[in-house]
Each structure stands twice: as structure tokens, then as C-alpha cells.
Amino acid sequence: MAKKAINIGLVGYKFMGKAHSNAYRQVGRFFPELEVSPVLKAICGRDEQGVREAADSLGWESYETDWRKLIARDDIDVIDIATPGNSHVDIAIEAAKAGKHVFCEKPIATEAGSAKRMFDAVNSAGVKHAVFFNYRKAPAVALAKQLIEQGVIGDIFHWRGTYLQDWIVDPDFPLVWRLRKEVAGSGSHGDLAAHLIDSARYLVGEIAQVTGLLETFIKDRPEMASSAGLSGEADLSRRGKVTVDDQSLFLARFESGATGSFEATRLAPGRKNYNRFEINGSKGSLVFNMERMNELEVYTEDNAAGAYGFRTIQATAGNHPYAGHYWPVAHIIGYEHTFINFVYDALHAIANDQQPSPNFLDGYINNLVLDAVERSSRSGNWEKVQ
């Protein structure tokens, strides 16, 4: 029996658009039990030549150059938003009003007020919604969640998260949209710390208070001559002001009583995608590093005498979350598979009339934490996450 089709409309076709497109193409191959079959119905972008080429190369049936026309189409069931942050709120609200399910890249908005409007819109419309916090879907992170829920490391005392990259360390790197507050909302804070915040909420619990520091080290950069994904060509004859942070650094108190530290920067030479966390509990510790994403380091106090130390678990065994859908143990999977796992979970939830997770509530709370850190950076005080 043919599966019911679920037609996808994607807004955005560069870095995240490519990752999302691949996930829709691949999910049925790795998860044949998925109850619905995603159809890459239409992709949308403002540059007609660019979006037409993306439609051809990424496997989309058609394209649009106006997201309003995409939403108005009656052959679209899901609107997936993979555009810069300042456009999310309008697209999401209009999609919800049109009765479409809405998926969105993180952070869902440039500030919490807009995120709340998006959350209210999908709730009022009764549509399903999801946020691409894809690192939850790495098998090792899902295994960490499983071990925590089983009590393996006991009561959690500490969260220690760092997300380090180096792709803008060159002061002549061009002023791409991610370096403009009016478009991106924030810099490393919303781009990288947002992932740390979601991972911390997923594994440790809600954050009650924060105190933080945001800093911009490179104050101006060359204007862009042309763009290409995360990068672009610089016009060295003109320079513009950087209006976002280069570094996000904050402490947190969780509602559970645990404490946390968070650091995110895109100015850490040698670090490419160093998304790492360590969780310490009363019975043991867990360590994850995205640059070694198939591994989870586990320490427990039940080792034989004299044999203390962390064990490195290959989170690729068939009994680990998601792993049984891919290759034999230690035949590793990659970054793209976190999106495939995400799409499977989201579409499986929709097929069973359930709300996907993470969703716009998670996105809204994430924005509340981001905003609280920004307030703290200005005030110098501890700020509550309202």
C-alpha cells in the first residue's frame, strides 16, 4: 500500500536549505517504517536563478520566489523555514494562519516577543510545529538523555557547555548577514549558545537565572561583495559595523538546583565545530563532543578497584537511539544524519497526531534564556528567565 504523501515547502536554499532537503530525501530510505512519505514539492528563494538551480540540484519539483505564494499553494502541507532569523516570524505566522504545519530553524526569532507571537500563532491555528535543534538527534546525545533518565549518573550537579568555532577570526572576513543584529538578532549567542541552551534544557532541565557577558572583539569588517552560504567575497574598499556579539559567556542556575556554565564564540582558532558538554552527577559524569559525535564518554563509580576512568561508548550499536537505522557498530554516521533523525521524529509525530519535539515552546523558552543573558550583559546582574 502506498504511503500517504506529505508535501513540503521549503523557504531558503543555502546551508540549512541543503541540510533540510537532504533529510527529506533520505528519511524514507533509513526509516522505512515512517508512516508518511515526504514529497519535495516546492523550494523558495528571492534569487530566481539561485533557487531554480537549487531546485534542480536538491531534488525539488518546483520553486517559488515569493514565500507568500508558497504558503498560498494548496498542494503544500508543511512550511519549513530555513531563512535568516528576522524573517521567521512573518513566514511562520502566515503559514499557521493558512493551516500549514510549520518547521523552523533556530533560534526561531531574534527576540522572545516575536517567538511568543509564533508560538501563539501555531497554537491558535492548531497546527504542528517543530524547531531544528538537531543536536538532540545525535545518537550519543539521545543516549545521554536515556542514561540520565535511568539514573546512571544520579542527581545532576553541574552542566559545562562550550561551542567554539573559528570561521570569522580573520578581521577581513566579510560582513555576512549573521554579523548584523537587525537580521540575525545576535551573533555567537543566538547561533551557537542557542544550541547549548537547548541541549542543557533537554538533559538537565529548565534554567531559572543567568548572569552573562557578551563581547564584540572585531568592531568592523569589509562589506560583502557577494554571498555564498556562510561565507562570501569581501569588498575591501568599504567597511561596516559589526552589530552582534563575537562571544557569549554566562553562568546559570537550573530550577533543579544544578549550576551551569556556557561559552560560545566564533573566534577560537583551531576549533571548527567544537560543540561539547560535560554533565557531572552524584554517581558519575557524561561527556559529548560534536567533533566526535558518534562517541559518548561515561564515568561511573562502579568500576573495579583501581580501574577508574571514563569509558568511551560507541553510540552506533543497534540498541542505541537511532543507530539501528544506519550501519554496523563503529561505522559512523555524520552531521547530516541528525537532520534525518529530526525529520523522522517530526513526521512520525504528525502522522500520529502528536506534537513534535522540540517544538515552538522549546524555541520560545530558548529565546527567553537568550534575552535574559543579553539583559544581564547590560545590567551586570543575575537575571531571571521569565
> 84-100 pLDDT, tens per residue?
999 999 999 999 999 99
Buried/exposed 76-91: b ≥16 CB within 10 Å, e otherwise: bbbbbbbbbbbebbeb
Cell, residue 291:
567533533
pLDDT of residue 301: 86
pLDDT of residue 229: 59
Element (H, E) at 364: helix 360-379
Which residue type does 38 have? P
Domains of the chain as residue ranges with CATH: 4-134 (3.40.50.720), 137-356+365-384 (3.30.360.10)
The model carries a pTM of: 0.96
pLDDT band at 228 (very low <50, low <70, confident <90, very high): low
pLDDT digits (tens, 9 = 90+) for 326-374: 999 999 999 999 999 999 999 999 999 999 999 999 999 999 999 999 9
Cell, residue 329:
557498530
The owner of cell 561583495 is 225
Cell, residue 266:
566564533
